[in-house]
Structure 1
């Protein structure tokens, strides 16, 4: 932690992000990665439904209802990833220790590299599609760019959840506690 004193907000967020009541849901790497995959799938489904709503003729309202239903598991998955990373991306810099600050920098750098590749792929896709069709696919340009923007926004969370390490075993539970004389 830095020498800047924590505010009441910082302390409450630190308590919230270190609350271990839901730890069983992300206690292993497989569970954390499953949560990240579920979050990616839910984000894609929500984005696809929103795109369908905007591009479909007749404005199908069922997409709004399904999107609203999918938001709840999406928010739960977001909370689980934040809990698994102990708020690595949600806490202010002054609430992180040196190891967490370094990990945040690594996560953001990796997420930036992945997002750059996705932006390049989106641009190439639009150029190739426009080149083969003879005209730029204007109807799909905005949804594709919005999707890449959402991925850019969520990628640090996904990378942090994917890279999160297992919690160290409790010494008292393993039997490595102090010896009684």
Structure 2
């Protein structure tokens, strides 16, 4: 761990989080690029299912989605942990626990995620505009579900981008 600060200047929390994010037990989940892509795709799918179920519970007042939501929670947490393990905590660790290369990588991931989220927002705005203009849809009914549907990818896009762009680690041989 070569950071700008000395190892002794890291807090107990920083050292513990660094150790957690660099555990190798989950390595089979993300050992290859194909597995990391599958893990990110699974995370995106589980997120979409969870957001859809939550939206159905709140706005349609159905109760069955709560069971689907609870069923997706554990796999979603495992997938999140797998992506964090693949990136070695790039987005979860404080800046003082990262070296210069990791800080540059985090900045690059955040910039790319910001661009992708901007494109997503543009596509959603155009889509909702067309629905209101061409379709017989009340836009007031769409505002909250659409905002929730855009907020979640905005929140998770850096994690997904980091999971997709992380490089393979060199073999230990």
TM-score in terms of structure 2 length: 0.94
Matched position secondary structure for 1:68:
helix
The question of whether the paired residues in 2 share the 8 Å contact of 1:19 and 1:83 is answered with: yes
1:94 alignment partner, one of 93, 96, 115 = 96
8 Å CA contact retained: 1:84, 1:161: yes
**Equivalent residue for 2:139?**
137
Contact preservation (8 Å) 1:126, 1:136: no
Detail structure 1 runs of 4+ shifted over 3 Å in the superposition: 133-136
Give the greater-gyration-radius structure (CA).
1
Question: 1:133 and 1:169 mapped to 2: Cα distance?
Answer: 55
Q: Give 1:125 deviation, angstroms.
A: 1.2
- Runs of 5+ in structure 1 lacking a partner? 172-181
Task: From 21, 26, 44, give the equivalent of 2:25.
Answer: 21
| TM-score normalised over the length of structure 1 | 0.90
Equivalent residue pairs, number: 169
Residue 50 of structure 1 and its aligned partner are, at CA, apart by 1.3
Q: State the 1:16 CA deviation.
A: 0.4
Task: Say whether residues 1:38 and 2:42 are aligned partners.
Answer: yes
Question: Could you say which residue in structure 2 is the equivalent of 1:55?
Answer: 59
Q: Deviations over 1:139-165 (max 9, x none)?
A: 122111111110000000000000111
8 Å contact from structure 1 (residues 127, 136) kept in 2: no
Deviations, residues 32-76 of structure 1 (Å, cap 9, x unaligned): 1100000000000111111112222xx221111110111110000
Q: Which runs of 5+ in 2 are unaligned?
A: none
Task: Please say which of residues 125-134 and 113-122 is displaced more in the overlay.
Answer: 125-134
Which residue does the alignment assign to 1:178? none
